[in-house]
């Protein structure tokens, strides 16, 4: 059938009209969510994940909940790690609204659309959800333009991410769920102890401990001396941050000389730009605990 000359595939005004109607419908029948973009801190280039993800901003935006009778999923069920609560749903959000709010100000990993891994907070139920899949190209659309994104979401499983959005109702998820007692996150490492290699002699007072390094900052420690004027211990008071290699330890003052020590840092297993941080740490631990030979699986030792 030939194309009717009196009809087009959609003029700009027609596209705007349809888009305005969709925006109005979602505003009337939808619910307000808080969109929380994920910021990557130390991405593992092998597994494509980031244990140190941060969530620092939240944007109110209206979305239409397609499963109007409630959340889908198995609900509460018992599995080997304990009680799990599985809830899922499909949301529809207008492209123009997402671009105006999140795309422009949220700095998502993919700036042109919602990202898998971003979070959504639903104030009505107090739930925090993670985007699992984004349908950003609907195969059927009218007037030659796409108007909405469809987001498939599931209940968020917290894994020690930093949540500091400034919204108390969202930020409390970190306080309630975290198992990490050190909430100061660093892409590299911190000084965890100082080992004395030479106590020196002649100290009448405890010398000051200084750290010299080309990378990290903020490490501090205090030394103590024995009754015979020897440095016998060093206590780390602040581990600092961003250490790539152990800093050089120096002792200043105290009236003595000859003391020396080495610093030990705790490198993050997902170091920034590291391709296999987890594997390296596991290999080091395995060498110390599991195997006492170079080649445990072959005849050559």
Low-confidence ranges of the chain (pLDDT < 50): 76-77, 83, 181-186, 269-280, 291, 301
- What the block records as the tokens of 249 is 């330890």
Say what the pLDDT of residue 164 is: 86
The whole-angstrom separation of Cα 279 and Cα 32 is 42
Say what the pLDDT of residue 62 is: 93
| Runs of H (alpha helix) within the chain | 12-29, 95-98, 104-105, 168-177, 277-289
Residue pair 106/37 in contact by the 8 Å Cβ criterion: yes
Residue pair 160/180 in contact by the 8 Å Cβ criterion: yes
Q: How many degrees, rounded to 5, is the angle at CA 91 between CA 161 and CA 121?
A: 35
Q: Say what the alpha-carbon torsion angle 197, 238, 50, 174 is, to the nearest 10 degrees.
A: 140
HSE value, Cβ hemisphere, 13 Å, CA-based, for 202: 8
Residue pair 148/93 in contact by the 8 Å Cβ criterion: yes
Burial of 186 (0-12, 13-18, 19+ CB in 10 A): buried
- What the block records as the tokens of 253 is 């003052």
Taking every pair of Cα atoms in the chain, the longest distance, rounded to a whole number of angstroms, is 104
Say what the pLDDT of residue 278 is: 46
**Closest to 208 (Cα-Cα) out of 222, 194, 198, 196:** 222
- Backbone φ and ψ for 167, nearest 5 degrees, come out as -100, 110
Say what the pLDDT of residue 78 is: 53
Say what the pLDDT of residue 275 is: 40
Q: How many degrees, rounded to 5, is the angle at CA 109 between CA 103 and CA 111?
A: 30
Residue pair 245/213 in contact by the 8 Å Cβ criterion: yes
Residue pair 55/172 in contact by the 8 Å Cβ criterion: no
- Backbone φ and ψ for 20, nearest 5 degrees, come out as -65, -40
- What the block records as the tokens of 35 is 């969109």
Say what the pLDDT of residue 277 is: 43
The whole-angstrom separation of Cα 32 and Cα 97 is 12
Q: How far apart are the first and last CA of the chain?
A: 78
Q: Which residues, other chains included, contact 185 with Cβ-Cβ below 8 Å and sequence gap of 6+?
A: 41, 52, 54, 162
């Amino acid at each position: 059938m030939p194309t009717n000359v009196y009809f087009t595939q959609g003029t700009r005004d027609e596209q705007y009209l349809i888009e305005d109607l969709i925006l109005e419908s979602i505003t009337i029948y939808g619910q307000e969510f808080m969109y929380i973009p994920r910021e990557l801190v130390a991405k593992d280039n092998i597994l494509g994940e980031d244990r140190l993800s941060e969530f620092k901003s939240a944007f109110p935006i209206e979305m239409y909940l397609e499963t109007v009778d409630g959340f889908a999923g198995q609900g509460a069920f018992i599995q080997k790690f304990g009680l799990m609560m599985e809830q899922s749903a499909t949301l529809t959000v207008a492209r123009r609204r997402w671009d105006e709010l999140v795309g422009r100000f949220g700095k998502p990993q993919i700036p042109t659309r919602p990202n898998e891994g971003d979070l959504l907070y639903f104030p009505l139920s107090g739930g925090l959800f993670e985007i699992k899949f984004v349908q950003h190209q609907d195969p059927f659309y009218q007037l030659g333009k796409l108007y909405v994104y469809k987001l498939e979401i599931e209940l968020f499983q917290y894994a020690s991410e930093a949540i500091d959005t400034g919204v108390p109702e969202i930020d409390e998820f970190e306080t309630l769920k975290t198992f990490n007692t050190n909430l100061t996150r660093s892409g590299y490492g911190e000084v965890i102890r100082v080992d004395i290699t030479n106590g020196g002699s002649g100290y009448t007072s405890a010398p000051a401990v200084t750290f010299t390094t080309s990378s990290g900052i903020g490490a501090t420690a205090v030394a103590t001396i024995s009754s015979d004027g020897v440095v016998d211990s060093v206590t780390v008071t602040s581990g600092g941050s961003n250490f790539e290699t152990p800093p050089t330890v120096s002792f200043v003052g105290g009236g003595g000389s000859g003391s020396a020590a080495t610093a030990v840092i705790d490198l993050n297993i997902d170091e920034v730009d590291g391709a296999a941080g987890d594997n390296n740490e596991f290999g080091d631990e395995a060498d110390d605990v599991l195997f006492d030979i170079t080649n445990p699986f072959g005849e050559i030792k």
